[in-house]
Every structure is written in C-alpha cells, then in structure tokens.
Structure 1
Amino acid sequence: MKKTVNSSRSYDATGRRARAVANRERVLEVARTLFLHDGYGATTIAAIAASAGVSAESVYKSFGGKSGLVSAIHERSLLGEGEVSAEQRSDLAQVEETSGFALMHRLGELASEVAPLVAPVVRLIQDAAAGGDPAMRELLREIEQSRYQRMLRNARVVAERGILAYGLSVDQAADVMWAYTAPEFYENLVVNRAWTRTQFGEFIARGLAAALLD
C-alpha cells in the first residue's frame, strides 16, 4: 500500500510539473504575440493572463512583471526552432566541422534560424528603452553584453583551431561576429529588402568566412 501511495504522489508531482511547463509556454507565446502587436507600453499583465487562461498573480509569480516576461521571451527565442538549442548546436558545430568554411556555413544557418525569432523582440526592447523605460534599458544592455560574450567565446574557438586569419586578433574576430549577428542586420536585409532566410544565412556564412578565415 505504501508503494502505491508513493507512486501516486510521484505521478501527481510529474503531472503538476508538466502543467506548469505547459502554462509557462502558453504565457510566453501569448505575451510575445501581444507585445509585438500592441507594443510594450500598451500590453498589460492582465491582458496576457486573460488570453493565456491563467491568473495575473501566477504571471507575476513566474516572471516578476513585464520586463521579466520580455526577458524570458528573448531567452526562449535564442533557443531557435530545433529540439536542441541553437547555442548547443553552435558548440557542437565548432567541434564537429573539419573545415573553417563548413563551420561558417553552419553558423550562417543558425543565424538565419534564430534571427527571425530574436530580431523583433530586440526591436521591442529597443523601442521601450528609447521611450525611457529603465528596466528595458538595463535588459538591452544585458542582452548586448551577453551576445558579445558569446561571440568572444566563438572567436576563441576559431583561434584555437588555428583557422583565424593571420594578423586578426580574437577581439577583432569577436567584433566581426558581433556585427554580423546584430538584429539590425537581419532587419535591413530580410525585413526591409525582402531577402529570403536562405539568402541571409548564406550571406552571413560567406561574410564570416571572408573576414575571419586564413
């Protein structure tokens, strides 16, 4: 009998965790839609909660308010579309690919996958920061710093593999990667000039290869 009770409790706990994850994903999906459609200032926690079918209190408890929600949406966007996060796939590519050109091709593909998800969220944050929201100004600073640190890590791997162009420092390589992964780059070419995602990814790959490889 005791074993049955323990099994039942374990099942209940698993079910609660699954429902919590499902609720979180639904809130993030709804919040993303409302923020991008109505803007940061006009979107309320009450509206997000009502559309997601949860209480406003649960949204505050999970995310701490609007800025926390936007931060979580941004982090979710960085994962990309695959079951394995884009960052993990980037790390794997840096180990698996035998040539610098093949590595840049993989990085270009990942950029074309992640940019459509991340760019509109960053634009939302930039607009809110420009409007004077202190939490969004701080979030924007944190995002840019985190993106640069990621590029610096990638540049170090390229240098350690001995494929970085002669005379190019790791810091310079990181700056190049940082520039090519800027959300504005995607907006200019894909959103404003109607490039396809494939064209964008190939352009990133060729540009990185030309600028970074020996």
Structure 2
Amino acid sequence: MERNLENVKSKRRYNSTGRLEQARQNRDAILRAAERQLGERGYASATVAAIAAEAGVSVETVYKAFGGKAGVVRALYERDLAGAGSVPAYERSDAMRERESHPRTVMREWGFLTAEVASLVTPIRLLMRAAAVTDQEMASLLADIEDERLKRMRHHARYLKDRGYLREGVSVGEATDILWVCSSAELYELLVLKRGWSLPRFAQYVTHYMTASLLPEMTQEGPAETAPA
C-alpha cells in the first residue's frame, strides 16, 4: 500500500512538471507567433485566432495565458524589457549601481543597457503608440508602461542625488526627465531607426548626454569644484 502511494505521488510530480513545461512552451510559441503577426499586420489586423493558429494552440489557450490580445502585447513588452542577457536588465542595472563607485562608470553602463533594451523593446512600444490612437485598451496599456518607466527613472535620479553625484542645481525632477528622455522609444526611433545610427553610437550618445547633463564637469584633477559664494 505504501509503495502504491509513493508511485502515485511520483507520477503526480512528473505530470505537474510536464504540464508546467508544456505551458512554458505554449507561451513561448504564442509570443513568437504574436511578434510576427503584429509586426506584419499591425495591432488592429492581427487576431487572436491567427496568433493561436500559427502557434499551434487553441484560442482558449491564448486567452487563458494572456487574457487577450492586449495581454499578449504587454507580455512581449515585458519580455523585451528584460534585455538580451540571462539576468533581467533592471536587475543588472541595480547590481551595477551598488558595485560601481564612479558616477561616470555608472553613466557608461546605463548607456549600454539603454541601447540594449531599446533595440528590443522599441518596436513593440511603437506598435502600442500607433494602436493607442484608436484603441482604448492599448491607450491604457501605453499609459501604464510609461508611468512605470517614469517611476524607474525617478528611482535612478534619487540614487544619483543620494550618492551626491548630481551637478549642483540639477534637481531630482530634472534628472528624472533627462533619464526619461534617454530611455524613450522616440529617441531610439529618431537616431537609430530613422537616421541609421549604430547601436554602439547610440549607446555612446546616451552616455555623453546623461554625463554632460547630470554630472559635474571634469577637471584634470577630477570633478570641478563649485566656487565659494
């Protein structure tokens, strides 16, 4: 009797693991299909039925996993927001902030991360922006992610202020706005997608812009000192 119970428990663990793996595979297949369907047909013309058919799953599976087409778009955004590394970009950013002690190194690393994430996430953000003009659900989603991005940039700005890195006269609010612009889809769209800048050039530009706008000027000895009043 005890042996039979052990077999049942083992089988249940196996079945649970198998179901989780199947769900993960279905999710990945849906996102790949959605990325292609949305890229080729646009938000309005891409349908859940077409996404499901290409992914090889039922329409019900798509709705259970994502709640609908807008949910699929948000999942694509969150996937790309994590960047290209095995560790999400925001985790790498926070770990780097704690590890580095020189503000210019922090700016350089933020420039690299900004370019990495922008190269992945900008297409879906531009799709959201276009769809939001006529679709209220997408307009709400876009407003949500822009609010999340602004909060993240304020988080970075407060870090710079707390560390004493901000140039005199630059407030947390101004620093937030500058970082918000640097991480915008619009900046990447203008310089990379429309003007053909390479990703390294874009990363360098963002680094230089943040450094010049936020940090004290450098002298041969280090940051320029403020003249006494």
Superposition TM-score, scaled by structure 1 size: 0.97
User: 2:103 matched to 1:100?
Assistant: yes
The alignment covers a number of residue pairs equal to 213
Output the CA distance in 2 between the equivalents of 1:139 and 1:122: 10
Opposite residue 208 of structure 2, the aligned amino acid is R
**Structure 2 match to 1:120:** 123
Task: Please point out which of 194, 197, 203 is paired with 2:196.
Answer: 194
Output the CA distance in 1 between the equivalents of 2:12 and 2:207: 51
Q: How does 1:1-214 map to 2 (within 5 A)?
A: 1=3, 2-130=5-133, 132-214=134-216
CA shift, 1:5, in A, is 2.5
> Can you give the 5+ residue segments of structure 1 that lack an aligned partner in the other structure?
none
Runs of 4+ more than 2 Å apart: 2-5
- Higher RCO, 1 or 2 (CA under 8 Å, sep at least 6)? 1
* Aligned-pair Cα RMSD in Å: 1.0
- Percent identical among aligned pairs is 42
SS of residue matched to 2:45: coil
Output the CA distance in 1 between the equivalents of 2:67 and 2:8: 35
CA shift, 1:184, in A, is 0.9
Output the CA distance in 2 between the equivalents of 1:71 and 1:65: 10
> Can you give the 5+ residue segments of structure 2 that lack an aligned partner in the other structure?
217-229
SS of residue matched to 1:208: helix
